[in-house]
Amino acid sequence: MYGLKALGYATVFSAMAFGASAQGLHGDGAAHGHGHGANGMGHDEVNMPGLRGENVTEAESLEMQVMFQNFTTLSRTVDNLSNGIRTVTTSSDPEVLVALTSHIAGMINRVETRDNPLVFIQSPTLDIFFERGDEVTTEIEVTDAGIVVTQTADDPDLIEALHTHAAEVSDMASRGMMSVHERMMGH
């Protein structure tokens, strides 16, 4: 696994074991549910059905739900490198940090094995990673500053996709589901 040893097996294990405890977490960024559009049958920001997909586990959906419902606890910096990105992401909430760590480790493993989760709200930017993930070098490190991810590639298309996806994730960390809704509506 790309740099996952840097996380330490205990951290990865505890993050992966997170699972069901995510169901009850609703911190400061919690969306307390509303439907809009389509006579109230539009967005469900409590159950977040868009976080499910053709090949996503319930635990993965719950991790994303925790992060979206508590996005105000996230902070993130991105350095665009000439050959990729370096990101530092953290949360002021320890439970959100566990979900974040597990999500990052899980998604990098999925890219490595070309196992696309096909999440309903997934950005098309991710397609190239699931097709050509073996061409991306990833290192993960957990530090006092947060979860540091460095991803590099040689191909300009992959480098551009890394920059684009990093910006999308930063927008989601800053604005939560609003950023996803706008991207999906073409704004």
d(CA 18, CA 64): 12
Return the domain boundaries, the chain. Answer: 4-184
pTM comes to: 0.73
> What confidence tier does 68 reach under pLDDT thresholds 50, 70, 90?
confident
Residue 72: the pLDDT is 95
Q: What is the pLDDT of residues 110-139, one digit of tens each?
A: 999 999 999 877 889 999 999 999 999 999
Residue 187 burial (CB count, 10 A)? 7
Is it the case that residue 167 has pLDDT exceeding 70? Answer: yes
Name the token pair of 47.
């159950």
pLDDT (average), residues 22-40: 36
DSSP H or E run through 131: helix 127-132
pLDDT (average), residues 26-48: 40
